[in-house]
Chain A
Amino acid sequence: MKYNKERKEIILDKELNKIDKFTFDFIRIIEKYVDYVIISGYVSILLGRSRATENVDIFIKKIPKAKFISMYKDLIENDFWCINSDNIDTIFDYIDEGIAIRFARGRIPLPNIKVKFPKDELDGDAFNDSISVKLPVGDMNISSLERHIAFKRYFLGDDKDNEDALHVEELFKEDIDYEKIKKLKGLIKLRQYEIRKRR
């Protein structure tokens, strides 16, 4: 595994597991319609963490309903299904209201891809603050290592999340920008404060 910080890419010659293949099949479809970035636990798993997961989290940029419907039809034609509803209006309403929707393949619900629009500027920054993982079969966009660590450690913060953060930190500690993590921590804490204030 080779990380080129300047080029924002990781060369990864891994043997793909079922979650890698499932995720790759999904993003090959959605990337025809929308920009995406993979976030959270699967980032650590893609980079070698020794655990499985029930879902892969993906941000997609906000798109008009017509384009979303085209993407949805393409997913359905390729054996994916939305486990929240089979009514496209309902599905779009969910995601447009900031609710994550899940897609699985075949008629089974596991594993699944959890798709959501970014809910604020901090989420939206993930698209510009991303890196490309170059796999033998193609590329995957994931959140930057610093963003991944910051959100795992300071936003999510349970044992599993701290372990996911530690895995990535241990792998890339010579290249990680700790000042950037500190800044992201500040933005995360500010967002949490603002959410609490609104309640």
Chain B
Amino acid sequence: MKSEKEDNSKKVFMKPGKTNKEDRMNFIKYWAEYIKTHSDKEWSSQQKVLIDAQIPE
């Protein structure tokens, strides 16, 4: 079983913004970096969950 320290080493942390606008901008940068460092299948499966939940059949 992996220790908490080992698990966290795989995580990339986002800098929180001081305002809502700054926080949204920071998340966009964070998510873009996630896309660049993960496979298309990995990030797009998350995007699919988000989008498909909002679109009717």
Residues of A within 8 A of B (CB-CB), count? 25
Our count of residue pairs bridging A and B at CB distance below 8 angstroms stands at: 74
* Cβ of A13 under 8 Å from chain B: yes
Find chain B residues with CB under 8 A from A51 CB: 50-51
Q: Please report the C-alpha to C-alpha distance between residue A170 and residue B40 in the assembled complex, in whole angstroms.
A: 16
Determine if B9 is an interface residue (Cβ-Cβ < 8 Å). Answer: no
Within the assembled complex, what's the spacing in Å between the Cα atoms of A110 and B28?
26
Q: Are B55 and A171 in contact (CB under 8 A)?
A: no
The binding surface of chain A is classed by DSSP as loop
Q: Is the interface of B mostly helix, strand, loop or mixed?
A: helix
B14 proximal to A (CB < 8 A): no
Known contacts A170-B28, A170-B32, A14 near B40 by CB under 8 Å: yes
Name B residues whose Cβ lies closer than 8 Å to a Cβ of A: 21, 24-25, 28-29, 31-33, 35-36, 39-41, 43-48, 50-52, 54-56
Give 7 closest A-B pairs by Cβ, nearest first.
A170-B32, A14-B44, A17-B51, A17-B48, A13-B40, A18-B55, A52-B54
Taking A17-B48, A51-B51, A52-B55 as known contacts, 5 extra A-B pairs with beta carbons closer than 8 A to each other, sorted by chain A number, are A13-B39, A17-B47, A110-B55, A167-B32, A170-B32
